[in-house]
Structure 1
Amino acid sequence: MTKGAGRSNLQQRVLSAILLVAVVLALTWAGGFWYRILCAGIAGAVLYEWTAMASPRDATAHRIVLWGLLAVVLAMLLAGVPAVTLHIALVVAVIVGAAHAAYGQREFWPVAGVAYAGLSAISLAALRSDDAAGLAATLFLFAIVWATDILAYFVGRAIGGPKLAPSISPGKTWSGAIGGTIAGIVAGGTVALYAGIVWGVLATAALALILSIVSQIGDLFESSLKRRFGTKDSSGLIPGHGGVMDRVDGLVAAAFMLFVIGAAASGLDAPANALFGR
């Protein structure tokens, strides 16, 4: 790649990132139905990319079945159905998808995409809910994941050193992972401070640490998935960035972890209240 082409690609990445962040933050701030549209859009794009990678070209009928099953779950999510019911619907969708795969003697990887996409949407939507605690929880999550991703990239490029997981993602380094984790902790602590969430420094840092690490694990998981199916990007939907999965892999993993932690403390339908309620 020439220097001019590299500069052009970087500009494209930056412009795409700014636009995406603006849209995501606007819909997050609006909350309610508008935010649920964002969650459903992410899940739909994720399943589209997942099945494009994992399904053979002659499996069009199976892909349509899987898209239809997820569409039912997402329609319920848009209607504001409680998280408990959404999880039950997702389990049913996965079971039906698995039965269809078995009947057609298909692999189960595409069906796993329904679970991955559905859990992503449900976790993100349930965390945001429609109150101040949900907004604080979501901004806390975004700050950690975005700071981790950005600083891991730049610190890794600047310092280099031993590879984090060379067989999965040769470009990632331990220096980048550590730098990203530190940035995630700082970013999460900053949002918690401005949101008026006072757990204590150690508790805030511990939660941010967990989410930062999980987001990087989610990134590695998606890299391993692409390597398994022999593709560089999950798609070309986002100029300069690849696919939606390439951008949300860490986010959806961290969102699910925060959802699990919050749900254990205050229930499936109010996972943000125990940690972010005042």
Structure 2
Amino acid sequence: MMIPVAVAITWAGGIWFIALVALIGIAASAEWSRIVFDGSKVQFAVHSLAVLIVTFPVLKYSFLSMIALAAFTWSISLLIAGGMRKQISFWTLLGVPYIALPMAAFVQLRQSPENGFIAILWIFAVVWLADTLAYAFGRTIGGPKLAPVISPNKTWAGLGGAVVGGALGGTLVAWFAGLGGLLPLMLMAGVFGAVGQIGDLYESAAKRRKGIKDSGSIIPGHGGILDRVDALLAVSVAALIVGIARQSLNNPATGLLIW
């Protein structure tokens, strides 16, 4: 049910997509607050503000200005946290970049004047098929553990499945969309499949530090929002970097997809 809704809202674009991204970001902020800050309302408020700043281009700020505002907001949060606790942890420092920057990346990619919808759909396909085949390969092949201290269930076979799944998902969307350059898109999608697993491991490390299994319970039987989007967070930023490097800040979707 969630996948068709996400695709439909992505197709609609505009304020609908921005609102979806902002809501996901705020929900993820609440879960991150629970994981790292013991549910601190102050930290949750600061995280949510940063998410709103970077996801609402309707505020007429440029992308870089929004990032600067988010950084300023985070600096204020560190001052607040410094008054509440003796030291600022590694996890505290990475909280806002981990959530807000990917939200901004999604908005910037979707708002591209060309290929915005296809770019987001391509990212969805890469991550969803990577996750599916990572699970399938890990369960059926097993073998050596990838990072046993962080995530005991992840295996090197699962990572291979993520690469294969990512490549398959990216290639299928590119083919259906009539894009050229299928080989570089396939290779990049495979790399992004692995990047998504790194995002998954990062969230797992934060949860293990806290001693919890799920980031939340908002999705019955599937954990929290962060458990569902951890790979998407990492891949969205990687996709934006590629898009900007190959095209421009104003049209990253074309830089990502047109080879």
Show the counterpart of 1:271. 252
Show the counterpart of 2:127. 145
Matched, 1:180 2:176: no
Matched, 1:88 2:63: no
Confirm or deny: 8 A CA contact 2:195 2:234 kept in the other structure: yes
2:178 pairs, out of 196, 218, 235, with 196
* SS of residue paired to 1:241: coil
Structure 2 unmatched runs, 5+: none
Show the counterpart of 1:63. 43
Confirm or deny: 8 A CA contact 1:144 1:184 kept in the other structure: yes
TM-score by length of 2: 0.91
Alpha-carbon offset, residue 77 of structure 1: 4.0
2:223 pairs, out of 242, 248, 259, with 242
Confirm or deny: 8 A CA contact 1:36 1:78 kept in the other structure: no
* SS of residue paired to 1:170: strand
Q: What is the CA–CA distance in structure 2 between the aligned matches of 1:145 and 1:273, rounded to whole Å?
A: 19
Work out which of the two has the higher radius of gyration on C-alpha atoms and give 1 or 2.
1
The AA in structure 2 aligned to 1:260 is I
RMSD: 2.1
Confirm or deny: 8 A CA contact 2:110 2:120 kept in the other structure: yes
Matched, 1:207 2:207: no
Alpha-carbon offset, residue 72 of structure 1: 4.8
Structure 1 unmatched runs, 5+: 1-18
Which range moves more in the overlay, 30-39 or 259-268? 259-268
Per-residue CA deviation, residues 180-223 of structure 1 (Å, 9 max, x unaligned), is 2112101111111121221241x122211221110011011111
* SS of residue paired to 2:153: strand
The AA in structure 2 aligned to 1:83 is F
Confirm or deny: 8 A CA contact 1:151 1:176 kept in the other structure: yes
The AA in structure 1 aligned to 2:117 is L
1:259 pairs, out of 236, 240, 256, with 240
Residue 34 to residue 72, structure 1, CA distance change in 2 (3 Å): closer
* SS of residue paired to 1:50: helix
Show the counterpart of 1:100. 80
Per-residue CA deviation, residues 216-259 of structure 1 (Å, 9 max, x unaligned), is 11011111110011110000011111000000000110000001
- Count, aligned residues: 257
Alignment of 1:106-125 (within 5 A): 107-108=88-89, 109-110=91-92, 112-125=94-107
Residue 178 to residue 68, structure 1, CA distance change in 2 (3 Å): closer
TM-score by length of 1: 0.85
The AA in structure 2 aligned to 1:233 is D
Matched, 1:36 2:14: no
Confirm or deny: 8 A CA contact 2:29 2:44 kept in the other structure: no
Confirm or deny: 8 A CA contact 2:150 2:201 kept in the other structure: yes
The AA in structure 1 aligned to 2:53 is V
Any runs of at least 4 consecutive aligned residues in structure 1 with deviations exceeding 6 A, and if so which?
none
Percent of pairs with identical residues: 36
